[in-house]
Every structure is written in structure tokens, then in C-alpha cells.
Amino acid sequence: MRMGGTMLIGGNNNLGISFTTENAAVARKALMLIKRLFELKTEVVVTRGRRLKKANSYLIRVVPSLATAGLFTTLGIMPGVAASSQYTGLLRRACCRRAYLRGAFLGGGSVNKPEGEYHLELVTGNQEFAKILIRLLKSFKLPVKITDRKQEYVVYLKDGEAITSFLRIIGATNALFTFENVRVVKDMRNQVNRLVNCETANLQKTVNAAVRQVERIKHIAGTIGLSGLPETLREAAEIRLAYPEATLNELVFLMDGKVGKSGINHRLRKLEQIAQNLEDSRHE
């Protein structure tokens, strides 16, 4: 009621409530609880929005009467009394805090699909009430934050694990399973993408190195010739020219394992250095 309700004042200063939501399930739950627990006279109005998604809006109106005072007393809502002083007894037990957060989420909360960034928020127009929500969330060790948006206060969670914990705390089992399934798929997809990107980068690095090595060896061959090189370097140069696309591991295999990967890499680096020295000498 704090999240989506408005207090009404009728004849003889009797109080009532106007509760609005765009979620039909939430409207049914609120209506059922009001009727079953308090037996109050209610009215339901359904309107269709004219903007954007044109979603239905459900308004539950508790007609102002003397009997409504029992509803306000049970909910801990006292007209004219600061919200922070109304919840000492109501929220003493952990089970009550869980139920209260469940109501806050149903009344003014939302969680986005976890394909993108993780984000769960509770929106209220009352700053003092927003602070109460923050204290409740912190009592469950959740990393809650707050911001303001168009004269409203947004209490939010951005961490996937924190949102999972929140859904577990309020007993939203089905939503929790759905959220976790999507989150697992997302994390796996991200891991695969990272592995593919890493493999692609390594492949590009290998190709670039091979192309550079072939060019340098050809430069040596065109200047002093490969025959003038030590046997180990000449052998490395010839096998690189013969297999320009081979990786270091493949070159090791082609050389029958006579030299290891580090040895092949060292010889190719030495050939590149010789080519660089020849290039520098030509420009002197």
C-alpha cells in the first residue's frame, strides 16, 4: 500500500485507500487480501492507457469508512505520524521483514531481464520510506543503493548475486529459477565469447608473427643467402619458408621433436634480428 496506494479522506473524515497497479496478478492479490482479512467495501476500475504499450491500469478503491481504521492499524500506517516511527513492532521479526519487502516489490518494484545488465529496483515518491527500504535490505546484507528520478526515489540492486538473494528472500521461487536459468546461459555465453575472442586474438598473433618471419627470412635469402647461416638457423629458416602457416607446435612436430617450442622460437627470433641488422646496415 505504501508503494502503490493513496490515502483517501471521505465524509466525516473517514479514511479510505486508492491502490493502483498495472499488474493484474498484483491487483487480484491486493483485492483478495483486503476482502478476506478486513471485509471492507471495495470498488475496482480498469482503464487502458493511451500511450506507448497501452497497458491496463487496475485501480482498487477502499471506500472511506470507520472500518478502514483497522486496515491502517494492521499495516502500521498512521496518518500524520512519520513513517520511520511506525514500523518498530511491525518489522521486528525477519519473517515480517521478508513479507514487507515482498509487498514493496509487488507494489512498486521491477527486475529487468538478465540478458543485459542486472537491475532490480523499488520506486517510491517518499524519501523517508525509501530510507526504510534501504535499512530493510541492508538487514539482509544486500548491497543496496539509492538514486532519484523525476521526483521519485529509486532503491536498487545492480549485482546478479544480490538480485538472486533478494528474490530468494521474498519467496519469489519461480522468478528466481527463471532469473537464474537466464543468468547461467548468459554467463556461459559470455565465457564462450571470451574464449573465442582469446583464440581469435592468438590466431591473429600467430599469423602476424609467421608473415613477419617469412618476410625477414626472404630478406636474408636475398642479401647474404641462407647458405651462409649456421646450420641450426638455416634449418629453421627453410622449414618456416616451407610451412609459412604452421604454428610453433606444428614446426616442432615437423622437425621430429629435435628441438622444442622455445628453441624454435629462439631461432626464428635470431633470424629476425639478423634481417633487422642487415636492414640497418643498408641504411648506414
Joined grid coordinates for residue 158: 545492480
Percent of the chain whose pLDDT exceeds 90? 14
Q: What is the pLDDT of residues 15-28, one digit of tens each?
A: 888 988 888 889 99
Chain position carrying cell 528520478: 149
- Among residues 138, 171, 204, the one where a domain terminates is 171
Joined grid coordinates for residue 283: 641504411
In a domain, 229, yes or no: yes
Which residues are 20's β-sheet partners? Answer: 59
Q: What is the pLDDT of residues 98-107, one digit of tens each?
A: 999 999 999 8
In a domain, 187, yes or no: no
Separation CA 155–CA 148 (nearest Å): 9
In a domain, 183, yes or no: no
Separation CA 180–CA 274 (nearest Å): 57
pTM of the model: 0.63
- Among residues 29, 60, 80, the one where a domain terminates is 80
Q: Which domain holds residue 142?
A: 92-171
> How many distinct structural domains can be found in the chain?
3
Min mean pLDDT across 54-63, 81-90, 201-210 is at 81-90
Regarding whether 214 and 134 lie in a shared domain, the answer is no
CATH number of the domain residue 4 falls in: 3.10.28.10
Q: Is the pLDDT of residue 146 over 70?
A: yes
In a domain, 188, yes or no: no
Q: How many CA atoms lie within 13 A of 102 on its CB side?
A: 17
Average pLDDT over residues 256-277: 88
Regarding whether 159 and 206 lie in a shared domain, the answer is no
In a domain, 137, yes or no: yes
In a domain, 146, yes or no: yes
